[in-house]
Structure 1
Amino acid sequence: MFVFQDLYQNEVHLSFSIDPFCNNPKHVWVICRYNGQWLLTKHKERGLEFPGGKVESGETANDAAIREVMEETGAIVSELTYLGQYKVLGKGKTIIKNIYFAEIESLTNQTSYFETFGPILLQDIPLPLKKNNQYSFIMKDNVLIHSLEQVEKLLSEKE
């Protein structure tokens, strides 16, 4: 387990075990790859980030992950892998998110990408991002760094 502070000095607990903080989290975050590139979305207020959002009533976190990727990027998920979970002890509330890795089958054009401007493909993520104003705060803490390490392990196991 990793414990650190995020950009806003909230305490973050990160684990790559199965449901360490909650069996039914209310939020998801999905690291996506499409044709050898990272698939992000450009949030209208926050900037570049991997897709994610809230689990809606009646759906599982896995279902929410697939839906959020489609809504925010137009991408069709071919394979979804649970990576871990993190908990942010914020001022006034606690947020728990499942982290997933998604292999993307294809991208479709949409008339709306909800609260985003749609898909962004990147060959590389220019780490570190803490001072890069193009990226969302969600991408600027150790959740991203440790999650990308998990993705690299997963991809190397598949080779």
Structure 2
Amino acid sequence: MKTFKDANGNTVTLSFSDHTFPIEAKHIFVICRYQNQWLFTKHKERGLEFPGGKVEALETVEAAAKREVYEETGAIVEKLIFVGQYMVSSSADTFVKNVYFAEIKEIQNRNHYLETEGPVLKNTPLTPEVITDEYSFIMKDDVVQLCLHWLKKQGIIL
């Protein structure tokens, strides 16, 4: 496990195991690849980020991951792989997010992408130097870099 502070000063603990924390994951974050490119959504306020959101009532965490990817990008998930989970603790709240890696089958055009402006494809390496102001604060903490490293170590991405 790794513990660090995020961009907002919250304590973040990342684990590459499932059910690590005493509370259930009710949020998801999905690192997406489509045709050898990263698939992001452009949040209207935060900027570029991987799709994510909350698990709805009576929904599995995996179903929420697939739904959020579709709602925010129009993408159909072909393969979903559990990467890990992280707990964010602040003075106001504590929550757990599951992190997944998704291989995308196709991207369908949608009339509406909810709170986002839809899909954005990029083929640049996701190093900290590349993740500039156009990206959401969510992309700038250690979660993304550590998850990418784990995915490379597992041979899931190059």
Pick the TM interval, shorter chain: over 0.9
Partner residue in 2 for 1:139: 139
1:103 matched residue in structure 2 = 103
Q: TM-score, normalised by structure 2?
A: 0.94
Residue of structure 2 equivalent to 1:3: 3
The number of aligned residues is 158
**1:151 alignment partner in structure 2:** 151
Q: Over aligned residue pairs, what C-alpha RMSD do you find?
A: 1.9
**TM-score, structure 1 length as denominator?**
0.93
Taking the aligned partners of 2:126 and 2:27, their CA distance within structure 1 comes to: 25
1 CA distance for matches of 2:131 and 2:28? Answer: 24
**Which residue of the partner structure matches residue 123 of structure 2?**
123
CA–CA distance in structure 1, aligned partners of residues 98 and 79 of structure 2:
16
Which stretches in structure 2 are left out of the alignment for 5+ residues? none
CA shift, 1:151, in A, is 1.8
Question: Does 1:77 find its partner at 2:77?
Answer: yes
CA contact 1:18–1:84 (8 Å) conserved in 2: yes
The CA distance in 1 between the partners of 2:58 and 2:125, in whole Å, is 34
The answer on whether the counterparts of 2:32 and 2:101 sit within 8 Å (CA) in structure 1 is yes
> In the TM superposition, what is the alpha-carbon distance from 1:110 to its structure 2 partner?
0.2
Write the distance in 1 (CA, Å) between the matches of 2:151 and 2:105. 17
Q: Would you say the 8 A contact 2:131–2:139 is kept in 1?
A: no
Q: 1:35 to 1:66 in 2, by over 3 A?
A: same
Hey, what's the Cα distance between the residues in 2 that align with 1:3 and 1:111? 40
- Amino acid in structure 2 at the alignment position of 1:28: I
Q: 1:20 to 1:145 in 2, by over 3 A?
A: same
**Superposition pairs of residues 19-34 of structure 1, within 5 angstroms:** 19-22=19-22, 24-34=24-34
Match for residue 59 of structure 2?
A: 59
- Identity over aligned residues, as a percent? 51
Moved more, 76-85 or 127-136: 127-136
Partner amino acid for 1:54? K
* Displacement after TM superposition at 1:101 (Å): 0.2
Structure 1: stretches of 5+ with no match in the other structure: none
SS in 1 for 2:8: coil
Aligned to 1:37: 37
8 Å Cα contact 1:130-1:141 kept in structure 2: no
